[in-house]
A and B are shown apart, each in its own frame.
Chain A
Amino acid sequence: MSLLALILVLILSLGAGLLLQALPRREHALPTYPQRAPFLGGGEPDTHAWSRYHVRYYPMALLLIAFEMEMMFMYPWAVVFVEKGAMAVMEMGMFLAILSVGIVYAWREGVFRWQ
């Protein structure tokens, strides 16, 4: 019943969002081509927007993946935490300490800077 409710919420809200966009637009004609020029602060659109863009935060994204893997262990860990007591604290503390060294290293390397 829970999953059925979730799927119903998804279908209803997605449908409402799409219909609210689609229904009123049937009344209007598409804008002319001069009107369709993208707003670029007044500049002429002479290139496609999907051009080369340096993703500066790529190393940061790699660091995030390391932490996301850690989260995968952390979910079951959270459930048994009180039961296991001090042992769980030590284990996760060590894990987090090692990952924190990664943050310090990445910080030193300028991964979080936006140049």
Chain B
Amino acid sequence: MIVSELILPLFMIFLTLGLGIYAAAVLDRLLAARQRIPVADSAWRSPLSNAAWLLLQQTNTTEAPDTPAWQLAPALYLSLAAMGLSLVPWSPTLIATDLATGLVLWGSFEALATVVIFLQGWAANAHLALIGAYRYVALGLSYLLISMFVLIGVALPAESLRFIDVVEAQAPLWHVIGQPLGLPLFLVVGLGLTFWGPLNLADSSDLSGGTSSEISGPLRLVWQMARMAMLVAFSAVAATAFLGGWLGPWLPGPVWVLLKTLGVLALLLWLGRSMPRVAPERCVTLMWVVLLPLAFVDLIWAGTLALLMA
């Protein structure tokens, strides 16, 4: 019992995190190479050499930083990603944290991510990092509602907030088809949650790095790893909520979850490479006035469909 309920799911989580972080880094470099952005070394070796270089680098600091918070923020962001991944069911029985309120817990991780990213910007005691953090809070408060409405839409046909029930409710029709607005809106949330590509307001180059402008060495490595880990965890949750999780022919369930996660991850990274960054002053209006009403439409659509199919 301990093996099947504890050790096996934990092994899956950390295997996915480790491989996922590396896969995300490689994919991002391959996408960069396609756009003729020069990548040092080969795309497969460069994440490893970059990590080794950061690990051996001297860590710079600022004059009066909040040192405990500075080290806690990347580690906490990493564990938020790991805990998010522990909510993902790999098969009807293989799941680490099977809670009746799984969707609510994932929502709380999204909210805590905002706190952790603010902490990272605040701890450095430098203006650019702090401005990145403030900006991020505005974004974080805006995407939270979109995420929750979209996830409630997924919970309606399942009549449950449990991830396993959400997957089983998709047996007749995956939510990516049944609720066409759901996945696109949820991908926007994912880009915000990891401040990736078009929604990179925290670490953007116009703040010369923002929240990560002052970090170097192992701290920078863990921060980058945590961001990649969050991308992976988010992709796994999106694959569970919209792409039918373990459902699929021929292959065993966990393989399907991994394949779908990799697909969503590649899509997110491609969006990050191909879309321009949203101007921060337009971002809040876009979220509340355009995307939030679209999330309402998604919810009404999901509710009507759930009543018709019930």
CA distance A3 to B86 in the complex (A): 10
Task: Indicate if the CB atoms of A36 and B61 lie closer than 8 Å.
Answer: yes
Whether, in the assembled complex, B134 has its beta carbon less than 8 Å from a beta carbon of chain A, the answer is: yes
Whether, in the assembled complex, B145 has its beta carbon less than 8 Å from a beta carbon of chain A, the answer is: yes
Contact of A56 among B71, B104, B138 (CB under 8 A): B138
Whether, in the assembled complex, B115 has its beta carbon less than 8 Å from a beta carbon of chain A, the answer is: no
CA distance A3 to B129 in the complex (A): 35
Contact of B82 among A10, A38, A56 (CB under 8 A): A10
The number of A-B residue pairs with CB atoms under 8 Å apart is 208
Contact of B157 among A6, A60, A82 (CB under 8 A): A82
Contact of B14 among A10, A12, A21 (CB under 8 A): A12
Encode contact with B along A41-85: 1 for CB under 8 Å, 0 otherwise. Answer: 100010011100101110011001001100100110011111101
Whether, in the assembled complex, B91 has its beta carbon less than 8 Å from a beta carbon of chain A, the answer is: no
CB distance from A60 to the nearest CB of B (A): 6
Contact of A17 among B148, B217, B226 (CB under 8 A): B226
Task: Indicate if the CB atoms of A57 and B137 lie closer than 8 Å.
Answer: yes
Q: What are the residues of chain B within 8 A of A86 when measuring CB–CB?
A: 307
CA distance A55 to B142 in the complex (A): 14
Task: Indicate if the CB atoms of B152 and A78 lie closer than 8 Å.
Answer: yes
Most chain B beta carbons < 10 A, residue from A13, A45, A64: A13
Chain A residues with a Cβ under 8 A of chain B = 1-6, 8-10, 12-14, 16-18, 20-25, 28-31, 33, 35-41, 45, 48-50, 53, 55-57, 60-61, 64, 67-68, 71, 74-75, 78-83, 85-86, 89, 93, 96, 100, 103, 106-107, 112-114
Encode contact with A along B67-87: 1 for CB under 8 Å, 0 otherwise. Answer: 000011011101101110110
CB distance from B193 to the nearest CB of A (A): 16
Most chain B beta carbons < 10 A, residue from A10, A24, A45, A60: A24
9 new A-B contacts at CB < 8 Å, known A21-B75, A103-B292: A5-B5, A5-B10, A8-B6, A38-B127, A38-B214, A49-B130, A75-B101, A78-B161, A82-B159
Task: List CB contacts (< 8 Å) of B198-244 with chain A.
Answer: 208, 213-214, 217-219, 221-222, 225-226
Contact of A6 among B64, B83, B127, B130 (CB under 8 A): B83
Task: Indicate if the CB atoms of A64 and B14 lie closer than 8 Å.
Answer: no
CB distance from B105 to the nearest CB of A (A): 8
Task: Indicate if the CB atoms of B156 and A75 lie closer than 8 Å.
Answer: no
Whether, in the assembled complex, B270 has its beta carbon less than 8 Å from a beta carbon of chain A, the answer is: no
CA distance A76 to B249 in the complex (A): 33
Task: Indicate if the CB atoms of B83 and A36 lie closer than 8 Å.
Answer: no
Task: Indicate if the CB atoms of A82 and B75 lie closer than 8 Å.
Answer: no
Q: What are the residues of chain A within 8 A of B56 when measuring CB–CB?
A: 24
Known A20-B221, A24-B56: A37·B134 in contact at CB below 8 Å: no
Whether, in the assembled complex, B41 has its beta carbon less than 8 Å from a beta carbon of chain A, the answer is: no
Known A48-B125, A100-B296: A79·B155 in contact at CB below 8 Å: yes
Q: What are the residues of chain A within 8 A of B107 when measuring CB–CB?
A: 71
Contact of A9 among B59, B74, B86 (CB under 8 A): B86
CA distance A103 to B288 in the complex (A): 8
Contact of A75 among B6, B76, B104 (CB under 8 A): B104
CA distance A67 to B126 in the complex (A): 33
